[in-house]
Structure 1
Amino acid sequence: MTKRAPVPLSSLFDDAMPDALANLRISGLCLDSRRVQAGDAFVALQGEKQNGLAFIAQARQAGAVVVIVDAQSQLPGEDIELPVLAVAQLAQKLPALARSFYADPSARLHMLGVTGTNGKTSCAWFYAHWVAQLQQTCGMLGTLGYGVVTQAGAQLEATGFTTPDVFSLQRVLAEFLHADCERVAMEVSSHALAQARVAEISFDTAIFTNLSRDHLDYHKDMHSYALAKRKLFATPGLQRAVVNLDDQAGRELLASLPESVTAISYSLSEPGADLYARDIETDLQGISATVVTPAGEGRLYCKFPGLFNLANMLAVLAALQAEGFALSALLDCAGKLPYVPGRMQRVSLPGEDAVLAGFAVFIDYAHTPDALENALIALKPQVSGLLRLVFGAGGDRDTGKRAVMGKVAARLADQVVITSDNPRSEAPARIAEQIRVGMPADSNVVVELDRERAIKLAIDSATKGDVVLVAGKGHERFQEQGGQKRPFDDYAVAQRALMARSAA
């Protein structure tokens, strides 16, 4: 982690403050007491679940030199043994405070922001690796973590969030700048937009992928969810917006864009789009299509199956072309892009790329009704046997989508194994029951709440011509239950099941 040189506290605020505070120098800003480092200012705010004021002692022990609180805060009764700076409307000032402390790094980077229910990670991954293939260093930030992407690949450090808090976000962008990145591909979640975490980020290009049911435990309704997504496209200084014309929310967004923003539409089939695909061919090995653009047309080849992957590639291709990259160079590189971890990723034995034992196994992050449907639709035409699905639904999240996912699973999969997927504080059996509600009584469904056994069951049952899809976790390396995260890796579990079967 790159730490910036300490700065006077007074340089970050317009308000007058006592000399003892004004002359105090800080080397970082932190909202999480567990991540405080020596010399940091601890910003103690009331969050959704925790009150930062309760963790001042922990921050002091970690090396905090000052506590910044909202002027309306009720400080703890005990002596906190640190200087305190009270700031009016502190929460609203955090984005500008973070930008100022880290010297506005996004203004010196070419910033791509990607939002939408599904496809954010793939678009950011494709953009960063496409740019790297074209000899430019690109930072990447999102669900998979953050890091610098070069031709040699990506080394990503996990953050635990799609879009980090305001201070972590600006710090990461400053690190990208320090690492000589020219560009950054960044996922922008609806939570981050609603909470103004990206309010002081200077985006050059924004991509909208799609909008379908997710996060209604937070946003409450689809209208509020859509409004949160739209905030990215109202960013001051945004130059271009790349929008999915095949999505209803995308079409509405296109109609509402400011005149100062160049609108670029893409589609899997609509010739009226600025960029669209035709003559599409797909199988388990990947996809190819003729891409028609304002600069001409050409054949796109990639090793990622599914129309949704093609849609994501079209979005990124449209963005890069609008940013000045030549179509021919982009198409030449498309087949070299590496797999996105946990996104329609085929499982194989070590050193083995072929379909094993006559059937194929994929893992995918699909955890919404729309994403699950798209993943199953992508695989179903390639299946000569049975399409077998292993999936669950997350606990303490939107309960309304569970039956919808069950309905999708029953309609498109030939055999379904319902299992647990981060049940958190909920009973896994109860979640499974709510999924089962959406499925016809005669569905070919098994409930196996032990996720490892569920994956093994599906793979052991597969025969020649079958395809097994393990959905929900994708890249995740944990199972969250009862307040604990224990190690769990869908890919590793599926690979072990394949190895055991091949050795039998």
Structure 2
Amino acid sequence: MIPNFNAVPSIKLSDLNIIENALQTFNVQSEIILLGVSEKSYLIQKNFVFFALSGTNTHGAKFTADAVSRGASLVISDTEGQKIIESLDLKVPICVFREPREVLSSIAASFFKAQPPCLIGVTGTNGKTSVVHYVKQIWDLLGETTASIGTTGTNGLLDLPLEHTTPDAIKLHWLLNQMVNRGINKVAIEASSHGLEQKRLHGIKFLVGAFTNLSRDHFDYHNSMESYFKSKSILFDRLITENGGAVICIDDDYGARMVELVKSNDFRIVTVGKNRIADIRVLSHSFHARGQEIKISWKGEQHVLSLDLFGGFQANNILLTLGILSMCGENASKILNLVDKLKPVPGRMEEVAVRKNGAKIFVDYAHTPDALEVALRSIRLHFMGQIHLVFGAGGNRDIGKRSIMGEIASNFADNVIITDDNPRNENPATIRSQIKEFCPKALDIGDRAEAILTGIAKLQKGDALIIAGKGHEKTQTFADSSFPFDDAEQASLSVQALDGQPL
């Protein structure tokens, strides 16, 4: 999926109004005509801007010669990139910025100007994907023309896979422009901490921002909870429109902090959660083997909602959905009447198979300590038997969470199998051993397919199994290669093999 610049007008550099904010410029003529932009040298065409950005493993400036050979007429970078480019002795106009990623978003928005009038951004550690999907499902049931952008790709009239939860700035602005061209007027977007920190969402005009919760994740990138929180707060501090609003779950301290930040910006606010002061509040909960019922208070009235969804955490996802839709102007009674039609989100506590004895198998994306504990605690409320778990941890990611997740598995699951997640460039056996040290009762089965089959074979009547970590993903990554692997599909195949049931 490569953005196409052929259908949009060229832009004169002087019309972008960026030069005056540059730290330095070299050989830059303000009358340069720009035909496109890319941060990947191999996508550069004649009269494109090449953004030479710092990356995790290298700096994009090292690819400037390739970009120039393909026709780049301007290079934009940071001070580190400038030094690299100077060492290459290239005759090319250069602009140096303190925050080149923000400039990239600005230029992308200039090429792809159109945005749907109702844009929703959802951030937080857990629940983003579910909330975005539920908002879209209700919109669809109301007859709106909608789309969503996030971990499961783009969904709606425009269905496309994505490499990241929040796409890069060029792709994101191109997608929104395409959606307008197709008549889509309402879009819900997952705003990841990486996407916010890397300015991918700058230039987007969000009508409503929503905050789910905050717990440990991405410490390989953010280093601390405070840094992580500050990245999430960018959505509310810089990206909500002047007349916009915020829907915030206040069941943790970070939610309360986010409310104070939003108040300082004078936005409309709706709070949700179990907290007594929440505007939309969960009053009580009942669970059964087919789903759950929640009793809520909203606008001075009490309502009982039936959900064909598993996990107590779904209650706050639903409250956030109600708050977002209400802030977008949807009728409250219409929304409430449609909640019982919501369907599970792919890979989010999704029931994927049932054994002949009635034991159920779920696939869940839980890959953080908090998400894993919440998933295990929640599913137990639905079932009378034992709770089984198959899980691992991703390679080249936060090593510190492995011990925590091992302890959680040991404390909250009756039977545990540790297996490979996406080992990437780490030794898979080392990752598993780091988890098993804190969950000594677990079986160690590296082959994920074998682990799933073994876990399902152990299920008795009234039991449930969670296959955690990868959720909706369709591949498994070893070293630099990805191979087809689908947890849900593997679970179905295992049940068929064990019970002789047709798929």
Q: TM-score, normalised by structure 2?
A: 0.89
2:23 aligns with none
Is 1:261 matched up with 2:267? Answer: yes
1:55 partner amino acid: F
Q: 1:161 aligns with which of 161, 164, 176?
A: 164
- Looking at structure 2, the residues matched to 35 and 148 of structure 1 have their Cα atoms a distance apart, in angstroms, of 27
Change (3 A) 1:174 1:84: farther
1:495 aligns with 492
Change (3 A) 1:466 1:255: same
Contact 2:210 2:246 in 1 (8 A): yes
**Structure 1 position 129, deviation (Å):** 1.5
1:470 partner amino acid: I
> What number of residue pairs does the alignment pair up?
484
Contact 1:56 1:67 in 2 (8 A): no
1:351 aligns with none
Post-superposition CA distance 1:270-322 (Å, at most 9, x none): 33210012242222322222221116333322211111112111101111112
Q: 1:97 aligns with which of 83, 107, 112?
A: 107
The 3-state SS of whatever aligns with 1:243 is strand
Change (3 A) 1:355 1:334: farther
Q: 1:53 aligns with which of 61, 68, 76?
A: 61
**What are structure 2's unaligned runs of at least 5 residues?**
21-25
1:136 partner amino acid: E
2:388 aligns with 388
- Cα RMSD for the two superposed structures: 2.5
1:216 aligns with 219
2:127 partner amino acid: G
**Structure 1 position 180, deviation (Å):** 1.4
1:29 aligns with 37
1:237 partner amino acid: T
Contact 1:390 1:470 in 2 (8 A): yes
**Structure 1 position 432, deviation (Å):** 1.2
2:257 aligns with 252
Q: 2:471 aligns with which of 463, 466, 474?
A: 474
**Structure 1 position 438, deviation (Å):** 2.3
1:109 partner amino acid: P
1:152 aligns with none
- Looking at structure 2, the residues matched to 464 and 64 of structure 1 have their Cα atoms a distance apart, in angstroms, of 66
Q: 2:200 aligns with which of 182, 189, 197?
A: 197
The 3-state SS of whatever aligns with 1:307 is coil
**Structure 1 position 124, deviation (Å):** 0.7
1:96 partner amino acid: S
**Structure 1 position 48, deviation (Å):** 2.7
- Looking at structure 2, the residues matched to 199 and 406 of structure 1 have their Cα atoms a distance apart, in angstroms, of 38
2:298 aligns with 293
1:142 aligns with 150
Is 1:182 matched up with 2:179? Answer: no
1:66 aligns with 73
- Looking at structure 2, the residues matched to 406 and 79 of structure 1 have their Cα atoms a distance apart, in angstroms, of 52
Is 1:378 matched up with 2:382? Answer: no
- Looking at structure 1, the residues matched to 365 and 271 of structure 2 have their Cα atoms a distance apart, in angstroms, of 26
1:339 aligns with 344
- Looking at structure 2, the residues matched to 316 and 415 of structure 1 have their Cα atoms a distance apart, in angstroms, of 34
What aligned pairs does 1:226-241 form with structure 2 within 5 A after superposition?
A: 226-235=229-238, 237=241, 239-241=244-246
- Looking at structure 1, the residues matched to 292 and 323 of structure 2 have their Cα atoms a distance apart, in angstroms, of 18
- Looking at structure 2, the residues matched to 215 and 144 of structure 1 have their Cα atoms a distance apart, in angstroms, of 19
Post-superposition CA distance 1:99-158 (Å, at most 9, x none): 22222x34x521111110000111111111211111111221111112435xxxxx6311
Change (3 A) 1:334 1:60: farther
**Structure 1 position 248, deviation (Å):** 1.7
Post-superposition CA distance 1:245-283 (Å, at most 9, x none): 21221112223322511221111x333210012242222
Change (3 A) 1:375 1:120: same
**Structure 1 position 25, deviation (Å):** 4.3
- Looking at structure 2, the residues matched to 378 and 307 of structure 1 have their Cα atoms a distance apart, in angstroms, of 5
- Looking at structure 2, the residues matched to 318 and 25 of structure 1 have their Cα atoms a distance apart, in angstroms, of 42
Q: Which moved more, 1:16-25 or 1:423-432?
A: 16-25
**Structure 1 position 195, deviation (Å):** 1.9
Contact 1:302 1:335 in 2 (8 A): yes
2:347 partner amino acid: G
The 3-state SS of whatever aligns with 1:75 is helix
Change (3 A) 1:295 1:68: farther
Contact 2:49 2:72 in 1 (8 A): yes
Q: TM-score, normalised by structure 1?
A: 0.89
**What are structure 1's unaligned runs of at least 5 residues?**
150-154, 349-353
Contact 1:122 1:312 in 2 (8 A): yes
The 3-state SS of whatever aligns with 1:84 is coil
**Structure 1 position 346, deviation (Å):** 0.7
What aligned pairs does 1:308-457 form with structure 2 within 5 A after superposition?
A: 308-348=313-353, 356-439=356-439, 441=440, 443=441, 445-457=442-454
**Structure 1 position 357, deviation (Å):** 2.9
- Looking at structure 2, the residues matched to 156 and 58 of structure 1 have their Cα atoms a distance apart, in angstroms, of 32
The 3-state SS of whatever aligns with 2:313 is helix
Change (3 A) 1:78 1:215: closer
